[in-house]
A and B are shown apart, each in its own frame.
Chain A
Amino acid sequence: MLALEMYRSLPRTVAGKALGGRLPMVGAMATPLRLVTIEPPRVERPGWARLRTRLSGICGSDLGAVSGRTSLYFSAVVSFPFVPGHEVVADLMDDCEDLPKGTRVVLDPVLSCAPRGLEPCEECASGHPNRCTRITVGNLAPGLQTGFCTTTGGGWSQQLSAHRSQLHVVPDGYSDEQAVLIEPTACAVHSALRADIAPNARVLVSGAGSVGLLTTLALRELTPAGEIIVVAKHGHQRELAVKLGATEVVTPTEVLRRVRRLSGAFQLEPDYSRGYLLGGVDVAFDAVGNRASLETALHATRAGGRVVLSGMPASADLSAAWFRELEIVGTYASSPTEPGGRGAFGLATELVAHDAVAQLAKSVAPYPLHRWREAVDHAQSAGRLGTVKVAFDPRKRG
């Protein structure tokens, strides 16, 4: 089968890191990613089935891996070579317990104790498999998720394997493009609920890519947040943010000023450094995962407030966290037992029926696997190019 494969290559990783997404096509060429023909992955254990990929999204964490920006912290929880792609909508190729062959499913990519054939660890037993402590052992190669594990394969291929515990049926009437947004929406649901938003809390979402926009939706629909201020760079992001529930949309250059005014905070300008507020929002989400965005979240949050890391974080000046006694809340993937008792995927599946998400889904840009360089380039510049989600459609030929 055709698949895109990440492999170990120090020169390409370094080159990718150096170029980032700055040079169209060249950047994509300098990555440890290749189009290969390989044997389909198969896990011959109870509860596993083969899936034929319909669509698989390109996520910020995928781009981080492709461009070498991901922290080496994660190198211990992946197994090379692996096929990326953890935002997957696929058809079951085999019967899988209660699900018949041909069922259209989306994937909760976390490879916790159940897929690994292990007795539940303490975290899995308590309903938080996203915090599983056994993600490097068991019947599978190390890998925090499908799409980072050599045994299971990933969505950037024609076929992969998944465990029944990972599968969620896509309701009839949902397009594949809507369905491919269920996994990122589940992550957004998890972020929003992890933030423990108080009634009428003032919230900042720094970033209006798919993570930021879907977090905005989850905040509006599932929490009692009051004002939701979204930082958006591009016109289409601004428009979508409002439709998804933002009360204010600001540009990165005006965010501190606007939050200052809305919250009655004081603004300080330290020497040779970013300005910050004394006062600010109650909760801020970093939905980008770069230094500027994280520092924006830190600097715009009131003392004693909460900063939620929705994007895979970058290094940043944490002075504000110390000085302002901020709570830093990490949010990774999603949980089947979110606050309130429901699973994130169930909530997400309902949320993607929202009109604005349906509109967002129409803008999903699908690429065949062999045009992976263009796809990666497109995803690197998605905001600028008016796209929220780029995906691979391995069924496509041209």
Chain B
Amino acid sequence: MSLMFEQLLNGLQFGMMLFLMASGLTLVVGIMNFINLAHGTLYMAGAFLAVAFHALTGSYLLALGLAIAATALLGLVIELLVAQPLYQRDHLDQVLCTFGIILFLNELARVIWGSAPLRMDVPPWLDGSVDLAGIGYPVYRLAIIAVSAAVAIGLHLVITRTRLGMLIRAGAADRTMVVGLGVNIQLLYALVFAVGAGLAALSGILAAPIFTVQTGMGDHILILTLVVIVIGGIGSVHGALAAALLVGVIDTVGRVSLPTGFGNVLIYVLMASILFWRPRGLFPSHG
């Protein structure tokens, strides 16, 4: 019984990490209709920059803040130089171009930091375990759940209670109408792109102490992130949260309770069946 509880907690925590990635990407894809494969690379950039800033400043929180800001800035640059000229082009052009960014930034990271993986330790004040119903659970993983939950609540408030959120929802539902109403759509796009980059960076930084910091680290998580936003409904942050938790829990529990190999395909079966019944995902945002 306690094992099942522990596995659910593992799934919840993994799902929350996926949510941080998915929330940014689903906005970029949903509002700008822009397929950004380089989202995983921004996750990698966040982790690498955090390691660098941590070495420089010695403070985990300072490194966290600086790395998020720097990655958001990088996102802004990518938006200006690469994304903007491509908004009107078809998806294949966007996929090719952002795939090029993946290759370029992966190799750039290798040139700067080398090909050997880097280390990011759990900050000492989060290093330890707490007793939860008889099992020792790492504090750091609980902290990830807490931070992600705070981000989810924050995003929820912004999207449902503010003017910016209203524009974001309107942009996801009907882009042309928002432009027609005289909203500075370019500013909105740039802002959403930067916030998405910042969220990807946060996810990468939180992941750094448990995952490997190395070139290409964003590629695997990107695939899961795409699964999440498709299940959740493109453009919907609420959908991303629901889908991320679903994928996290089903993946974790499936892996341990089904024979080898079956557990790994479970989330794809889930995706296929949800798309069969609800082709626009769980929480479609387009009208």
Q: State whether these chains interact.
A: no
- Give residues in B with beta carbon < 8 Å to A: none
- Give residues in A with beta carbon < 8 Å to B: none
